[in-house]
Each structure stands twice: as structure tokens, then as C-alpha cells.
Amino acid sequence: MTRLWWVRHGPTHEKNFVGWRDVPADLSDQALIDRVADHLPVDALVIASDLIRASATADAIGRNRTRLPDHPDLREFNFGAWDGLHFSQVAARDPDLSRAFWETPGDLCAPDGESWNAVAARVNAVVDDLIARHMGQDIIITAHIGVIMTQIQRASGSTAYEAMGHHIDNLSITQMSYGPQGWTLGAINHIA
């Protein structure tokens, strides 16, 4: 059984879409960071998205755990032309598309961006490789809300729309396992 411990990066305090824009996380709540680090398995491997908000969070919670190189395919959705815009601006710019993007996730994408299915495929490939290379180990993956939701869909067998209904707080932990019987979804959005 390989256990995956998904940690959403620290807060950015951004009020607009943040996809591939490289904005830092606020990691000033040391007590919360310590609780997250204490909750995670001490012998786990740690890997993160290469965006600074995830990478710095992984460093903050990593302690003496083995740190794997950051991986660009663990990045958040590429929101293309929507990145940096407020939700109201996106709705005004692309009213039909923006509504459909959230209500019928799948192959729809922001202009010059990525679809749910494209993100799920790239993240699935990283996860499959991690499981193959580190079978039977605990792996902490510090990433982004959209990335974590694609993996909730995968582990639960739910629809993309159902997976998007989960609340994923900054610095929360979502746990899932993969073994001979397939996927098992554990706690979602655990606050340490």
C-alpha cells in the first residue's frame, strides 16, 4: 500500500485566479506548519509543484524527510487568459464559458489554458510514476487545490463536478492510498 498525503500550499491572499503565476505563500503561521508537519509520517518522501508557493510549503513542513525534486507537472491549472483576473472579471469577459467551465468540467478550458481532463492526465502520470518508483512508501505531495481535486476524483471514482464540490483549505491534508485493490480515499481537507 502506497499512501499519498496531499498538502495544499500555504495561503497567497490573492483574490484573483492564480494558476501558473508564481506568487509566494504566507508561511508565517509556524504553529500551524508545525501541526501539519507533526501529523505527517516522519519517514515519508516529500515532493512539490515547482511553483514557489508549493515548493516553499514543502520545505516548511519537510523537516528531515527526504525531499524529491520539485515537479512542474504538479502545477495548478493553467488558467491562461484568466490568470490574474477576479472571478467577476472572468464572468464578464467569458460569461458562458466561465460558467460551463465550473459546471461541466472536462474538456473545457480558459482561453490559452488547460482543461480539467488535461490537468488530471498530467498529474495522474506523475502520481503513477511516484507509486511505481516508491511502492509501499508514504509520499507527501505539496500542491494546489485543482490538482488535489483531480486526485480526489481519481481515488473516489466520482465525477469531476463532484470532486470540485470539496473544500480544500490552505495547509490542509487530504490522504489517499493505492494498493492491490486499487484506490482508497481517506480524510479530505484535514486541518491539523
Taking only the tens place, the pLDDT of each residue in 28-40 is 999 999 999 999 9
CATH assignment at residue 160: 3.40.50.1240
3-state SS class at 7? strand
- The pLDDT assigned to 105 comes to 93
What torsion, rounded to 10 degrees, do the Cα atoms 19, 151, 7, 112 define? -10
Average pLDDT of every residue of the chain: 97
Taking only the tens place, the pLDDT of each residue in 59-108 is 999 999 999 999 999 999 999 999 999 999 999 999 999 999 999 999 99
Query: pTM of the predicted model, to two decimals?
Result: 0.96
- The pLDDT assigned to 49 comes to 98
The percent of residues in the chain predicted with pLDDT above 90, rounded, is 100
Q: How far apart are CA 31 and CA 166, in angstroms?
A: 25
Residue 150, in any domain of the structure = yes
Q: CA dist 69 to 25, 59, 82, 168, Å?
A: 19, 11, 29, 24
Number of domains in the chain: 1
In the chain, the amino acid numbered 78 is N
Residue 110, in any domain of the structure = no
Residue 170, in any domain of the structure = yes
**Helix spans in the chain (H):** 30-39, 52-62, 87-93, 95-103, 116-133, 145-156, 160-164
Residue 88, in any domain of the structure = no
